[in-house]
């Protein structure tokens, strides 16, 4: 999977193997609390069975009505008890903030939408039960939130359909593909 990005010859022994795709959605409309930190969405549990798996995680959710705008949105892999699998990612500028993008119209009008999107990769994950948690944590500690409502629908704007959050977790088995992300290889 990774080697084809580098235009190397395809070999069956080189590709990482896709074992499963876990797909989670949630479409209920709700309002976020106004706090310095909070959870926007928990995907619900999924179970991996691959030894030393690579998880490729991508997802998005929709929000509406500006509040604090960008205020430390993050996404992280958590075990079934809610603890971070890689707790070192939780520092102020940790990797849970990497691969997260946020765009929208900084307006409190009913038609303003925000897209909270993520793409992250987790390596050497043991078989077990996990969840993906999307949230925010402001550095200033003040009462903030990225937007007011999640999964907007026609009650926010009569032109709008029901929006939903979704997340894909690709569970891959490492089999000699690109597992070293140091791209200074000299055999291109």
pLDDT of residue 156: 81
What residues does each domain of the chain span?
Answer: 13-105+112-172
Q: Which of 16-25, 83-92, 178-187 has the lowest mean pLDDT?
A: 178-187
Two structure tokens written together for 110? 């009913």
The mean-pLDDT minimum among 29-38, 45-54, 129-138 falls in: 29-38
| pLDDT of 183 over the 80 cut | no
Per-residue pLDDT reduced to its tens digit, 95-140: 898 989 888 777 777 677 888 999 999 999 999 999 999 998 887 7
Q: Which residue has the higher pLDDT, 164 or 106?
A: 164
- According to the model, what pLDDT value does residue 141 have? 74
Residues 67-90, mean pLDDT to the nearest whole number: 85
**CATH ID of 13-105+112-172, from 3.20.20.60, 3.40.50.200, 2.60.120.1340, 3.40.50.10800:** 2.60.120.1340
Residue given tokens 């409502």 in the structure block: 149
Q: Quick: pLDDT tens for 83-98.
A: 999 888 887 778 898 9
The answer to which of 27-31, 112-116, 161-165, 176-180 has the lowest mean pLDDT is 176-180
Model confidence at 10, pLDDT cuts 50, 70, 90, reads low
Confidence of residue 71 (pLDDT cuts 50, 70, 90): confident
- Which pLDDT belongs to residue 15? 60
**What pLDDT does 132 receive?**
97
């Amino acid at each position: 999977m990774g080697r084809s990005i580098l235009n190397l010859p395809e070999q069956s022994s080189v590709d990482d193997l896709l074992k499963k795709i876990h797909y989670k959605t949630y479409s209920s409309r709700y309002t976020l609390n106004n706090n310095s930190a909070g959870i926007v969405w928990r995907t619900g549990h999924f179970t991996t069975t691959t030894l030393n798996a690579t998880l490729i995680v991508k997802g998005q959710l929709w929000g509406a009505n500006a509040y604090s705008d960008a205020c430390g949105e993050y996404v992280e892999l958590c075990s079934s008890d809610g603890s971070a699998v890689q707790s070192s990612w939780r520092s102020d500028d940790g990797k849970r903030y990497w691969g997260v993008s946020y765009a929208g119209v900084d307006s409190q009008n009913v038609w303003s939408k925000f897209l909270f999107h993520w793409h992250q990769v987790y390596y050497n994950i043991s078989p077990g039960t996990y969840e993906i948690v999307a949230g925010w944590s402001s550095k200033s500690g003040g009462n903030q939130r990225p937007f007011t409502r999640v999964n907007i629908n026609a009650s926010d704007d009569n032109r709008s359909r029901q929006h939903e959050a979704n997340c894909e977790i690709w569970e891959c088995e490492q089999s000699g593909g690109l597992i070293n992300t140091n791209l200074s290889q000299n055999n291109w």
